[in-house]
Amino acid sequence: MVKSKKLIDSFFNAILGIMESKEKLNNYNEFPIPDHDAGINAYLTLKPCLKLIEYREKDINEFIKKIEEKLEYSSAGNIGIILHLFIPEFLSLFTKGLLPEPESIKDFSVRMIERIKSVFTWAPEGTPVSLFSYLKEQPEVIFRENFSDIIAHKLNEWKNKLDLQKEKGVPDSGLYALCLFLEKFMKGLKTKEELSDIYEKLKHVEEEKENNMNIYEGDFPIFVDSSADITNELMDIYRVGIIPLQIIISSKRFREGFEINREEVYKEIKLMEKEITTSQPSKFDIEKAIKSLIDRSKEILIITISKGLSGTWNTVKSVADKIGKGKVTVFDLEFVSLALTLFAIRAREKLQKGQKFQDVVNHLIRIREKSFLFFTLRTFENIVKSGRISWAQGKIASFLKMRPIMTLEKGRDINRTGVAFGDKGVMKKIISILKNKLDPSIYYDFGIAHIEREDVVNFFKDKLHKNFKVRKLLVSSLSPVIAIHVGYGAYGIFAIPYYE
């Protein structure tokens, strides 16, 4: 017989195990992108659950419902999505009074495989799919006394299923987190000792904050995520709302533009003394934006950073599909930064001219295929750390004092399109590349996004007007969520074609 108190104690014991393994999870985070924030995201996902410690004496089904509500809004990164999918239903297996039958574990595993594959476009073996495939075949294994040894052996085997994990010699971080949760949970369930000491270790975690967002009413609301670098003035003129991404500094979470400003983040990027990374928007913020307008709008357009670089599109799409009543279009821009702003402005202009909503979306798809981003870096440390280029590529470029000019293709591939030496050489090279790429017969909207590079702004303001048909030219400092990955001194040039 599993008593409610024992079940809840075991749950918090599993949470403690994951939180104490934060650094290991960060280190294991290689797939799909080695940005080493899995531990931080797991920590931030689970932290709000600690507010429910006071519910230990409540009905177990009510407790699980509240856990599900917390995870719905707090899931950070891919690992947060996986924990949200897994934990509530797993706990529910133990609420019938007796330990679940192997057949129940098997059915649960089948459902988890289906749910993971429905959420993630690619979920190969070596990820959490391997764990549930194993439990589907041997569901009784979690009840064995030597489960810890068995799962450690399997993790060693599963790490060879993914090239990135095999090379690093560690299992996938999401897979490891779930195995760790299972191990700690089952240990808590089997022990005859009291687990009251876990609450002493957990009770110090601080409260989360909630703040207002920028939301504009109308028949066709438009949102961008906060990587868009949009100014307050442009937001008001074109009625564009913001969904904030998250910045994580030393395990503390800040909503970009709401709880931390650019200057503070730039300072941290310069110093490089603290652990700093980024995460997709919280489901709470996404749901708040959609719910506030869904019944008063005809259609809602949300333009996001490329889904090849961030989990933002997937998270927004999952919320929109759940509560959007078929009225929300989540548009994967396949670009970043000022491109989001330029596309949002274009969409608003077309809507104001009376164009149909779907025609506007089709227009965005058309110009997306003809748009360009070229960017360069002053330092390679940040982009190597984020996993966007390899350590060897960064070292070679730094040693040769080369300044590669890079482009973003298909929304995910960062490719070199040219090389130059020195700041002036790079700027001239970008203009040369643009001359080869852009159609001289049409107008373009341009964007210059940078981190404290007024020399770059002055150069391109002059050269773009002299060499191209410029309809709009926007300039902005680079958003912190992008700056963290490209480093101090980076800048990018965007070119978006204009068609009637």
Phi, psi of 126 (to 5 degrees): 105, -15
Mean pLDDT is lowest, of 74-78, 322-326, 342-346, for 74-78
Q: Mean pLDDT, to the nearest integer, of 280-293?
A: 89
Q: Please, what sign has the CA dihedral across residues 261, 267, 272, 274? A: negative
Both tokens assigned to 99: 């330990």
The 8-class DSSP code of residue 282 comes to P
pLDDT tens digits along 199-239: 877 765 544 444 556 788 889 999 999 999 898 889 988 99
Of 57, 48, 47, 45, give the one whose Cα is nearest residue 9: 57
Residue of higher predicted confidence among 204 and 83: 83
pLDDT band at 97 (very low <50, low <70, confident <90, very high): low
Mean pLDDT is lowest, of 238-247, 307-316, 394-403, for 394-403
Distance between CA atoms of 181 and 83, rounded to whole angstroms?
Answer: 9
pTM of the model: 0.63
Distance between CA atoms of 277 and 266, rounded to whole angstroms?
Answer: 13
Are β-strands 240-243 and 222-225 bridged in parallel, bridged antiparallel, or unpaired?
A: parallel
- Predicted confidence at residue 1, as pLDDT, reads 42
Contact 183, 17 (CB under 8 A): yes
Q: Which CATH number fits domain 222-365: 1.10.3720.10, 3.20.170.30, 3.40.50.10170, 2.40.50.140?
A: 3.40.50.10170
Q: Mean pLDDT, to the nearest integer, of 343-353?
A: 95
Of 439, 441, 442, 426, give the one whose Cα is nearest residue 493: 426
Residue 391, pLDDT > 70, answer no
- Predicted confidence at residue 205, as pLDDT, reads 55
Q: Mean pLDDT, to the nearest integer, of 292-308?
A: 94
Residue 328, pLDDT > 70, answer yes
Residue 202: CB atoms within 10 Å: 18
- Predicted confidence at residue 207, as pLDDT, reads 45
Q: Mean pLDDT, to the nearest integer, of 454-473?
A: 96
Phi, psi of 45 (to 5 degrees): -65, -45
pLDDT band at 246 (very low <50, low <70, confident <90, very high): confident
Are β-strands 276-279 and 372-376 bridged in parallel, bridged antiparallel, or unpaired?
A: unpaired
Helix, strand counts (H, E) of the chain: 22, 13
pLDDT band at 403 (very low <50, low <70, confident <90, very high): confident
Q: Identity (one letter) of the amino acid at 375? A: F
Residues linked to residue 376 through DSSP beta bridges, in sequence order:
491
Which residue's structure tokens are 């110093």?
Answer: 271
Q: Which CATH number fits domain 372-497: 1.10.600.10, 3.30.1180.10, 3.30.200.20, 3.40.50.300?
A: 3.30.1180.10
pLDDT tens digits along 173-196: 999 999 999 999 999 888 877 777
Domain boundaries defined on the chain: 4-202, 222-365, 372-497
- Predicted confidence at residue 399, as pLDDT, reads 42
Q: Mean pLDDT, to the nearest integer, of 61-74?
A: 88
CATH level 3 topology of 4-202: 1.25.40
Contact 79, 41 (CB under 8 A): yes
Reduced to 3 states (helix: H, G, I; strand: E, B; else coil), residue 180 is helix
pLDDT tens digits along 113-164: 999 998 887 889 999 999 999 999 999 999 998 999 999 999 999 999 999 8
CA 288 to chain centre: 18
Distance between CA atoms of 70 and 68, rounded to whole angstroms?
Answer: 5
Rounded to the nearest integer, the mean pLDDT of the chain is 87
Residue 4, pLDDT > 50, answer yes
Q: Mean pLDDT, to the nearest integer, of 20-45?
A: 87
- Predicted confidence at residue 384, as pLDDT, reads 46
Percent of the residues in the chain that have a pLDDT greater than 70, as a whole number: 91
Residue of higher predicted confidence among 101 and 382: 101
pLDDT band at 353 (very low <50, low <70, confident <90, very high): very high
Q: Mean pLDDT, to the nearest integer, of 61-72?
A: 89
pLDDT band at 2 (very low <50, low <70, confident <90, very high): low
Residues linked to residue 278 through DSSP beta bridges, in sequence order:
247
Phi, psi of 346 (to 5 degrees): -60, -45
Distance between CA atoms of 419 and 397, rounded to whole angstroms?
Answer: 10
Of 76, 56, 318, 396, give the one whose Cα is nearest residue 199: 56
